[in-house]
Structure 1
């Protein structure tokens, strides 16, 4: 029998005050920022997003939320990128060069790396670890292709509009962005996060305990992403097989959500910025 959502939540809330380094949690398998240190998984994730980019070689790529490894940099290089920018809210990426040696082998490359910095240099990449502040440091219209995979749901609700604005600002005319968004809770794969109001959920002690999601529904996410001339197209959606939560358990903040919003478990969206010349023509 699986661990109940409330037990997972209680355990993480209890463990947070211990101040244990993330690297230790990752090594013992209790917390992970994705699985991009698995070469096959990383290649599959990148290519799923890159399939929706319609530009040519020499592009600048940005990954938002690269998590436990900087794999996308080397994959992007093999797909024709000129440069890759990796942005996260902290330095979570593995520094073991063997992680990147294995990736190179999976990509058919005969390369090995002295350390993480050597890998980044040879992959033509930079790693920025201050989240929104890092995005704000980037110049306007500097990225051709940007993507995130199961990341946007973790952006703090109060910062989501600002993150969306920055992602729009840095995308060049003719550029493409794709985002895979997981709308489930991170306590058991349901919607138990909707049992709580923001007064509790957004407290630092709760939001930093390792299970935070911003609880934004698909329509809300799309309305904030599709701004400043970006065209949004939902590429796919996934749904719960059965109601993920009874309405009587919803916090009043979410009581007005329509049934359809509560059925959607996740989605993938593509955003495109029209080329200035084509718009003018």
Structure 2
């Protein structure tokens, strides 16, 4: 019995190694052992390992960079998930796959539900949507978990950037008109473990679910909460200025509304991730 996790060095994959360890043997493979850009290698590896569950935590997540290298983004975010789904179906095992709020354009005024029409604004969102569709086309048992604004104490993310810049700069301007739910990778991993335990207990509702922290804030609000932690520790901290997205142009457009409703997850699985502020507190308190 083993769980195959892709994306060994990624934020979510690192947390999955901790959260899934009590459940089963975890085989967490990075690019050096499982190159997701090589479909033949994917098939060969899955068939050799014969896991009882696959959790795909690997992705091309550099949103702006994806605009310059769409082939690489589609290889990891669209083609690879489809191949993993085919191999999982052939073994008769489930696939858990993470997707994103960026499959939506953000024009809706209310939180998005799973059956709202996707309309990605850039290559990253479009490639992730193509990955969802590839998995669904296979028809095997699967969970597509859409999350948002993922951060941790590892890798590259908004939290680590703010922790550094808030102590290096006297003043920071942060976008305030993009709204969503910052979601700690540790909560994603713990929530995934809970889903696996429910599935093994005979409770399985396969399909697409929104899998984000509770509550909502803006990037400015998230930065302000990080600054509060620094000040509480007596560390130097920059002043913050709220600005609109138009004053911080990026190669890829971001949705203004990244709020995802968790109603379906609560209804079908009896599960909700913690509020985003609780997640931030837990992340900053966790051992590195």
The two structures have a TM-score, normalised by structure 2, of: 0.35
Q: Which has the higher contact order (CA 8 A, sep 6+)?
A: 2
The two structures have a TM-score, normalised by structure 1, of: 0.35
